[in-house]
Amino acid sequence: WSSPTSMTPRTMATRLGVDPRSSSPSRTMTVRGLRSVIVAWNMRRSPEMREELRGRALRA
């Protein structure tokens, strides 16, 4: 993964295997996927979130 600043939405969509030119009904799924990618990216960046997730996984 390159830095998020250098990634346009099109390259992100391409990474996710989504054709940015197709405006199919799966567009909402693309938005949801992008949002989850961003959330995962932020969690990977912040150690506190990672510890929180690890603790939650251990408790589950």
Residue range 1-54, pLDDT digits in tens: 555 555 566 666 566 665 556 555 566 667 777 888 888 887 777 777 678 778
Handedness of CA 53, 55, 57, 60 (dihedral sign): negative
> What's the whole-model pTM score?
0.30
Reading phi first (left if > 0) and then psi (alpha if -120 to 50, else beta), residue 43 is in alpha
How far is Cα 34 from Cα 36, in angstroms, rounded to an integer?
5
Q: What is the largest CA-CA distance in the chain?
A: 43
Predicted local distance difference test score (pLDDT) of residue 44: 77
